[in-house]
Structure 1
Protein backbone atom coordinates (compact mmCIF):
# COMPACT_ATOMS: atom_id res chain seq x y z
CA UNK A 1 0.00 0.00 0.00
CA UNK A 2 1.31 3.41 -0.96
CA UNK A 3 1.60 5.88 1.94
CA UNK A 4 2.59 9.48 1.27
CA UNK A 5 2.58 12.83 3.02
CA UNK A 6 1.51 14.56 -0.18
CA UNK A 7 -2.14 15.00 -1.18
CA UNK A 8 -1.58 13.63 -4.67
CA UNK A 9 0.52 10.93 -6.28
CA UNK A 10 2.39 12.01 -9.38
CA UNK A 11 1.31 10.04 -12.41
CA UNK A 12 -1.64 8.43 -10.61
CA UNK A 13 -5.22 9.62 -10.38
CA UNK A 14 -7.33 9.31 -7.23
CA UNK A 15 -10.58 7.69 -8.33
CA UNK A 16 -12.25 7.34 -4.93
CA UNK A 17 -11.90 8.83 -1.48
CA UNK A 18 -12.68 6.27 1.23
CA UNK A 19 -12.29 8.53 4.27
CA UNK A 20 -10.07 9.43 7.15
CA UNK A 21 -7.91 6.70 8.68
CA UNK A 22 -5.70 6.75 11.75
CA UNK A 23 -3.33 4.44 13.53
CA UNK A 24 -2.04 4.70 17.07
CA UNK A 25 0.80 3.08 18.94
CA UNK A 26 1.46 3.52 22.65
CA UNK A 27 4.91 2.51 23.88
CA UNK A 28 6.20 2.57 27.43
CA UNK A 29 9.75 3.50 28.33
CA UNK A 30 11.56 1.57 31.03
CA UNK A 31 13.97 2.47 33.83
CA UNK A 32 17.09 1.05 32.13
CA UNK A 33 16.36 2.97 28.92
CA UNK A 34 15.77 6.15 30.95
CA UNK A 35 19.07 5.66 32.81
CA UNK A 36 21.11 5.27 29.61
CA UNK A 37 19.30 8.19 27.96
CA UNK A 38 20.20 10.32 31.00
CA UNK A 39 23.86 9.38 30.62
CA UNK A 40 23.70 10.30 26.93
CA UNK A 41 22.07 13.63 27.80
CA UNK A 42 24.86 14.37 30.29
CA UNK A 43 27.73 13.54 27.93
CA UNK A 44 26.01 14.47 24.68
CA UNK A 45 25.21 12.35 21.67
CA UNK A 46 22.26 10.47 20.34
CA UNK A 47 20.07 8.20 22.42
CA UNK A 48 19.83 5.01 20.38
CA UNK A 49 17.38 3.45 22.83
CA UNK A 50 14.88 6.28 22.47
CA UNK A 51 15.42 6.50 18.72
CA UNK A 52 14.47 2.83 18.51
CA UNK A 53 11.29 3.50 20.54
CA UNK A 54 10.32 6.40 18.25
CA UNK A 55 11.00 4.32 15.13
CA UNK A 56 9.05 1.27 16.30
CA UNK A 57 6.13 3.44 17.49
CA UNK A 58 5.99 5.26 14.16
CA UNK A 59 6.13 2.00 12.19
CA UNK A 60 3.37 0.45 14.33
CA UNK A 61 1.12 3.51 13.94
CA UNK A 62 1.59 3.49 10.16
CA UNK A 63 0.90 -0.25 9.96
CA UNK A 64 -2.29 0.23 12.00
CA UNK A 65 -3.37 3.06 9.67
CA UNK A 66 -2.63 0.92 6.59
CA UNK A 67 -4.72 -1.94 7.99
CA UNK A 68 -7.66 0.43 8.51
CA UNK A 69 -7.30 1.75 4.96
CA UNK A 70 -7.15 -1.76 3.50
CA UNK A 71 -10.29 -2.72 5.42
CA UNK A 72 -12.06 0.20 3.71
CA UNK A 73 -10.95 -1.02 0.27
CA UNK A 74 -8.24 1.60 -0.27
CA UNK A 75 -4.91 0.98 -1.97
CA UNK A 76 -3.19 4.14 -0.74
CA UNK A 77 -3.18 6.71 2.05
CA UNK A 78 -2.42 10.33 1.15
CA UNK A 79 -1.85 13.45 3.22
CA UNK A 80 -0.29 11.47 6.07
CA UNK A 81 0.68 13.31 9.24
CA UNK A 82 2.56 11.69 12.12
CA UNK A 83 2.47 13.12 15.63
CA UNK A 84 4.16 12.10 18.86
CA UNK A 85 3.01 12.84 22.38
CA UNK A 86 4.50 11.97 25.74
CA UNK A 87 1.86 10.93 28.25
CA UNK A 88 1.71 9.37 31.70
CA UNK A 89 2.36 10.64 35.20
CA UNK A 90 6.14 10.79 34.66
CA UNK A 91 6.10 11.24 30.89
CA UNK A 92 7.23 7.66 30.44
CA UNK A 93 4.77 6.68 27.71
CA UNK A 94 5.14 7.66 24.05
CA UNK A 95 2.09 7.79 21.81
CA UNK A 96 2.56 7.94 18.04
CA UNK A 97 -0.40 8.75 15.81
CA UNK A 98 -0.50 8.51 12.02
CA UNK A 99 -3.51 9.82 10.13
CA UNK A 100 -4.36 10.46 6.50
CA UNK A 101 -7.00 9.95 3.83
CA UNK A 102 -7.64 6.46 2.47
CA UNK A 103 -8.02 6.53 -1.32
CA UNK A 104 -8.21 4.29 -4.35
CA UNK A 105 -5.63 5.07 -7.02
CA UNK A 106 -6.12 3.96 -10.62
Structure 2
Protein backbone atom coordinates (compact mmCIF):
# COMPACT_ATOMS: atom_id res chain seq x y z
CA UNK A 1 0.00 0.00 0.00
CA UNK A 2 1.44 3.34 -1.04
CA UNK A 3 1.03 5.87 1.79
CA UNK A 4 1.90 9.55 1.29
CA UNK A 5 1.43 12.72 3.31
CA UNK A 6 0.81 14.76 0.16
CA UNK A 7 -2.56 15.30 -1.53
CA UNK A 8 -1.34 13.70 -4.78
CA UNK A 9 0.91 10.81 -5.74
CA UNK A 10 3.75 12.01 -7.96
CA UNK A 11 3.35 10.79 -11.52
CA UNK A 12 -0.04 9.18 -10.91
CA UNK A 13 -3.60 10.41 -11.34
CA UNK A 14 -6.22 9.80 -8.66
CA UNK A 15 -9.24 8.27 -10.39
CA UNK A 16 -11.46 7.74 -7.34
CA UNK A 17 -11.61 8.74 -3.71
CA UNK A 18 -12.83 5.90 -1.53
CA UNK A 19 -13.10 7.84 1.71
CA UNK A 20 -11.50 8.16 5.10
CA UNK A 21 -9.48 5.26 6.47
CA UNK A 22 -7.96 5.08 9.91
CA UNK A 23 -6.10 2.81 12.24
CA UNK A 24 -5.73 3.24 15.97
CA UNK A 25 -4.05 1.60 18.91
CA UNK A 26 -3.84 2.31 22.62
CA UNK A 27 -0.67 1.41 24.46
CA UNK A 28 0.15 1.50 28.15
CA UNK A 29 3.54 1.79 29.80
CA UNK A 30 5.03 -1.17 31.63
CA UNK A 31 6.13 -0.70 35.23
CA UNK A 32 9.62 -1.95 34.38
CA UNK A 33 9.89 0.64 31.60
CA UNK A 34 8.92 3.37 34.07
CA UNK A 35 11.61 2.28 36.53
CA UNK A 36 14.34 2.21 33.89
CA UNK A 37 13.15 5.58 32.51
CA UNK A 38 13.24 7.15 35.99
CA UNK A 39 16.84 6.01 36.41
CA UNK A 40 17.77 7.22 32.93
CA UNK A 41 16.32 10.67 33.69
CA UNK A 42 18.96 11.05 36.41
CA UNK A 43 21.79 10.92 33.88
CA UNK A 44 19.99 12.09 30.73
CA UNK A 45 19.64 10.57 27.29
CA UNK A 46 17.03 8.86 25.20
CA UNK A 47 14.34 6.88 26.98
CA UNK A 48 14.64 3.89 24.65
CA UNK A 49 11.87 1.92 26.32
CA UNK A 50 9.37 4.67 25.56
CA UNK A 51 10.78 5.23 22.07
CA UNK A 52 10.34 1.54 21.29
CA UNK A 53 6.81 1.53 22.70
CA UNK A 54 5.76 4.49 20.55
CA UNK A 55 7.49 3.14 17.41
CA UNK A 56 5.56 -0.11 17.74
CA UNK A 57 2.31 1.76 18.30
CA UNK A 58 2.86 3.90 15.19
CA UNK A 59 3.55 0.82 13.05
CA UNK A 60 0.43 -0.92 14.35
CA UNK A 61 -1.75 2.14 13.62
CA UNK A 62 -0.30 2.37 10.09
CA UNK A 63 -0.87 -1.36 9.49
CA UNK A 64 -4.49 -1.10 10.62
CA UNK A 65 -5.10 1.94 8.42
CA UNK A 66 -3.56 0.17 5.39
CA UNK A 67 -5.69 -2.94 6.04
CA UNK A 68 -8.83 -0.79 6.05
CA UNK A 69 -7.78 0.81 2.74
CA UNK A 70 -7.02 -2.59 1.19
CA UNK A 71 -10.49 -3.82 2.20
CA UNK A 72 -11.93 -0.91 0.18
CA UNK A 73 -9.80 -1.84 -2.85
CA UNK A 74 -7.54 1.22 -2.59
CA UNK A 75 -4.20 1.56 -4.35
CA UNK A 76 -2.91 4.27 -2.03
CA UNK A 77 -3.61 6.52 0.93
CA UNK A 78 -3.08 10.26 0.48
CA UNK A 79 -2.96 13.09 3.01
CA UNK A 80 -1.92 10.66 5.75
CA UNK A 81 -1.60 12.12 9.24
CA UNK A 82 -0.89 10.78 12.72
CA UNK A 83 -2.17 12.01 16.03
CA UNK A 84 -1.48 10.96 19.58
CA UNK A 85 -3.27 11.68 22.81
CA UNK A 86 -3.13 10.60 26.43
CA UNK A 87 -6.37 8.85 27.30
CA UNK A 88 -5.49 7.69 30.82
CA UNK A 89 -2.56 7.96 33.17
CA UNK A 90 0.19 5.94 31.53
CA UNK A 91 -1.78 5.13 28.35
CA UNK A 92 -1.62 6.81 24.94
CA UNK A 93 -3.64 6.45 21.77
CA UNK A 94 -2.10 6.77 18.33
CA UNK A 95 -4.36 7.28 15.32
CA UNK A 96 -3.21 7.20 11.69
CA UNK A 97 -5.69 8.49 9.12
CA UNK A 98 -5.89 9.52 5.49
CA UNK A 99 -7.93 9.25 2.30
CA UNK A 100 -8.04 5.94 0.44
CA UNK A 101 -7.80 6.39 -3.34
CA UNK A 102 -7.67 4.48 -6.61
CA UNK A 103 -4.84 5.43 -8.97
CA UNK A 104 -4.53 5.35 -12.75
CA UNK A 105 -2.35 2.62 -14.18
Q: TM-score range by the shorter chain?
A: over 0.9
Which residue is 1:7 aligned to?
7
Measured after TM superposition, the shift of residue 59 of structure 1 is 0.3
> Pick from 98, 103, 106: which aligns with 2:101?
103
C-alpha displacement at 1:78, in angstroms?
Answer: 0.5
What are the within-5 Å matches in structure 2 for residues 1-106 of structure 1? 1-88=1-88, 91-106=89-104
Q: Deviations over 1:33-61 (max 9, x none)?
A: 01111122221100111001110000000
Offset of residue 86 of structure 1: 1.8
Q: C-alpha separation between the residues in 2 aligned to 1:95 and 1:4? A: 21
What do the CA deviations read for 1:71-104 (whole angstroms, capped 9, x no partner)? 111011010110111221xx21121100000001
* 5+ long unaligned stretches in structure 2: none
* TM-score normalised by the chain length of structure 2: 0.95
Matched residue count = 104
| Cα displacement (A) at 1:10 | 0.7
RMSD (CA atoms): 0.9
Runs ≥4 in structure 1, deviation > 4 angstroms?
Answer: none
Secondary structure at 1:56 match in 2: helix
